[in-house]
Amino acid sequence: GFRLGKVALATVERFEAKEYVPRVYLTIYAFINYFYQPVQSNMTCLKEAAEVGLSLGDPENTMSIAQTYIGLALQSGQPLVPLVEEMRSYSQQMMQRNPMSDMWIHACRQFTANLLGRSSCPHRLVGEEMNEHTLLLIVERSALMAEIIYFFSTWLAYLFGEYELASETAEKSRNVGKKDQIFICKFFTLYNHVFYSGLTALVLARRQHHGQRRKVWLSTIDSSIRQMEELAELCAWNFAHKLELLQAEYAYLTGDCAMAASKYDRAAELAASHRFVHEEALALERAGLFYSETGDRVAASRYFARACACYAKWGASSKVAHIQEHYL
């Protein structure tokens, strides 16, 4: 796929086939290069493709590109405040052409609003942009939209410590995937879903030592780590820090505290060097929780303070407040 993508790009450039830019760029930068090159390197090309699509009067591909760009921007840790303005611009364009696509952006805007501190219930995907009725409407109409909604819901619930809720929405996402494999077989959210559902299962498995549910969580953990190992081999830049954090939490689960401490640090270091500030923050926060729960309050406070600095850099003021209220 990667080699064919390079051939396609060269062909478009050689023949100056501008009309093919939106479709070719969408395929390559959303569904291929994500697994081989730094995700941040795709962003400029996706924005260019969206601009070309608009100039050509190609609303279908343009809206798909805009959706992909926003989703990847959120998951690559781009600063949230300027990203909100880009979402607003794309939303205005989508509303005129495709109301369902506009709902997609509304989901992203609500997710971002929660992180920016603009929701009274930050762990749920509801607020100014969306309500429960809107959510149900989206889920009923589109399997792909349901996948997006459940992914962002899982992510929020996990970030704000609502692990049972995160587990429930992750399960709903898996059920959608079983029915509509074509939608999620390569969609970029799938692999972040693997990451956050694995992290959720690790927390819940640590809290429940016996029973059928623990077996389910252990199975999820095994699957998540295995898939992330494969992805990290393809593109260490995008996935190695995620793998290190999963392994850190697994080491904590199995009682290997020395290994856990080392893995938390490695996860944070890789996320920082690969410019995933939001996941650097997460690795530092999880390290803080690890030290707090194992009795080292001094180390915990140090890691929590560093996590707050990273979340603030991302723009996630509600996460800064969450850590300060619950852990510091």
- pLDDT single digits (tens) 75-105: 999 999 999 998 888 777 766 666 566 677 8
Mean pLDDT, residues 138-147:
74
Tell me, what's the pLDDT at 15?
45
**What percentage of the chain has pLDDT greater than the value 90?**
55
Pairwise pLDDT comparison (102 vs 145), residue with the higher score: 145
Whether the CB-CB separation of 183 and 143 falls below 8 Å is answered with yes
Residue 313 CA to its chain's centroid (Å): 17
Tell me, what's the pLDDT at 164?
97
Mean pLDDT, residues 6-22:
62
Query: How many angstroms separate the CA atoms of 191 and 224, rounded?
Result: 9
Tell me, what's the pLDDT at 11?
59
Whether 48 is in a domain gets the answer yes
User: Where are any strands of DSSP class E within the chain?
Assistant: none
Whether 132 is in a domain gets the answer no
Domain count, the chain: 1
Whether 29 is in a domain gets the answer yes
Whether the CB-CB separation of 194 and 228 falls below 8 Å is answered with yes
Whether 96 is in a domain gets the answer no
Residue count (the chain): 328
- pLDDT single digits (tens) 32-58: 888 889 999 989 888 888 888 878 877
Whether 293 is in a domain gets the answer no
Minimal CA–CA distance to 277: which of 45, 42, 75, 34?
75
Determine the Cα angle at 89 with ends 83 and 91, to 5°.
100
What is the Cα gyration radius of the chain?
Answer: 20
Whether 199 is in a domain gets the answer no
Tell me, what's the pLDDT at 186?
44
- Expressed as residue numbers, the domain containing 49 is 1-76
In this prediction the pTM is 0.92
Whether 6 is in a domain gets the answer yes
Tell me, what's the pLDDT at 2?
58
Pairwise pLDDT comparison (227 vs 186), residue with the higher score: 227
Tell whether the model's pLDDT for residue 135 goes beyond 80. Answer: no
- How far is the first Cα of the chain from the last one, in angstroms, to the nearest whole number? 48
Query: How many angstroms separate the CA atoms of 278 and 155, rounded?
Result: 12
Tell me, what's the pLDDT at 256?
98
Whether 264 is in a domain gets the answer no
